[in-house]
Amino acid sequence: MIITKTPYRISFFGGGSDYPEWYKEYGGMVLSTTIDKYIYISCRFLPKFFKHKYRIVWSKIENVKDVNQIQHKVVKKLLQHLKISQGLEIHYDGDLPARSGMGSSSCFTVGLSKALYKIKNKDLSKSQLAKKTIEFEQKIMKEVVGSQDQTIASYGGFNKIIFNRNNKIQVQKLLFNKNIEKLNKNLVLIYTGINRTAHKIANTYVRKLTKSKKNHIENIMSYVNEGKKILETGNVDDFGKLLNTSWLEKKSLSNLISNNKIDQLYEETLRYGALGGKLLGAGGGGFLLVYMKKENAKKFFKRYKNVINVPFNFTKDGSQVILNNL
């Protein structure tokens, strides 16, 4: 059996510029980190005496005889792509809900890819894992997705990621310092309870990025270096204020990025002392990240007891094999 452990991510600034439709013409960059919430995927060979050849356990339990019968699209396509013909049992478990803006789709693909390549006795470097999962999602699955989620899940840590016009990706790690520690303490992760499909929302503005939305994306990209500078030498409270500025900018890209329920929740956090925040991922629902000092957060959650708070910490590691007894 092989078990992989792959972290979810939080993207602070630059989201949207990591779509190839944008960065292959203009370049892109993001500032993001992995957190201590994970997707676990286990894979083992199935003995031949079972009636089924593949057993896939996710929100459904699939027992099928042929790879083409598998309903989970990513599992089916990846098994076909890697030409794995041996019978397998694959289990998926996640610490957070799917479709919630935490990069879960790409996180799943990275974790499953790492496991299946290991089954084929292939060890991939971080850059190879990121590159292969990006190509799989964008070219084989033909999803409208960016390139940061696969990269951050593969590398791990707190990073500035640069997407060059020649399609090369650079990962610049930020050293953990007192400002990053303070940032972690003052960030609150709120689950809105709204699930959404990222590529459907992204599709409403990605196709228009290179023309009508160019100035917005350029502004969003500029916040990456500004945020990085704050963490290195500045006042961390300014990072929270910058989140607010960036969020208002991103909302202008599409009317599907936010809605009345989310706007009301966000405004209420500001009323309780939050300096800024944003919806994570493409928008439309999922998790709301807010910069709010502890004493203010306590008052907010005392008032809104039904709002789900998810404590977390930044982490340094990307996708890992945590068990291999093949």
* Residue range(s) in the chain whose domain bears CATH number 3.30.70.890: 178-314
pLDDT digits (tens, 9 = 90+) for 96-118: 988 778 989 999 999 999 999 99
CA atoms within 13 A on the CB side of 297: 18
Domain 178-314 is of which CATH architecture?
2-Layer Sandwich (3.30)
Please, which pLDDT band fits residue 210 given cuts at 50, 70 and 90? low
* Residue range(s) in the chain whose domain bears CATH number 3.30.230.10: 2-174+316-324
In terms of pTM, does the model score above 0.85?
A: yes
Give the integer Cα–Cα distance in Å for 209 and 197: 19
Helix H segments across the chain? 20-26, 73-81, 104-119, 126-135, 148-155, 178-186, 198-206, 214-233, 236-251, 260-271, 294-303
- pLDDT value at 59 more than 70: yes
pLDDT digits (tens, 9 = 90+) for 214-230: 777 788 889 999 999 99
- pLDDT value at 302 more than 90: yes
Output the furthest CA–CA distance in the chain (Å, rounded): 63
Q: Are the C-beta atoms of 163 and 23 separated by less than 8 Å?
A: yes
Q: Tell me: domain 2-174+316-324, CATH 3.30.230.10, correct?
A: yes
Cβ contacts of 290-297, under 8 Å, gap ≥ 24: 290/187, 290/188, 290/190, 290/266, 291/183, 291/186, 291/187, 291/188, 291/237, 291/239, 291/240, 291/243, 292/186, 292/187, 292/188, 292/240, 293/186, 294/185, 294/186, 296/272, 297/188, 297/272
Query: What DSSP designation does 103 have?
Result: S
- Confidence (pLDDT) at 195: 63
- Confidence (pLDDT) at 285: 73
- pLDDT value at 259 more than 90: no
Helix or strand (DSSP H, E) at 61: strand 61-64
Q: Shortest CA distance to 319 belongs to which of 158, 152, 131? A: 152
Tokens 């989310």 locate to 262
Give the integer Cα–Cα distance in Å for 78 and 73: 8
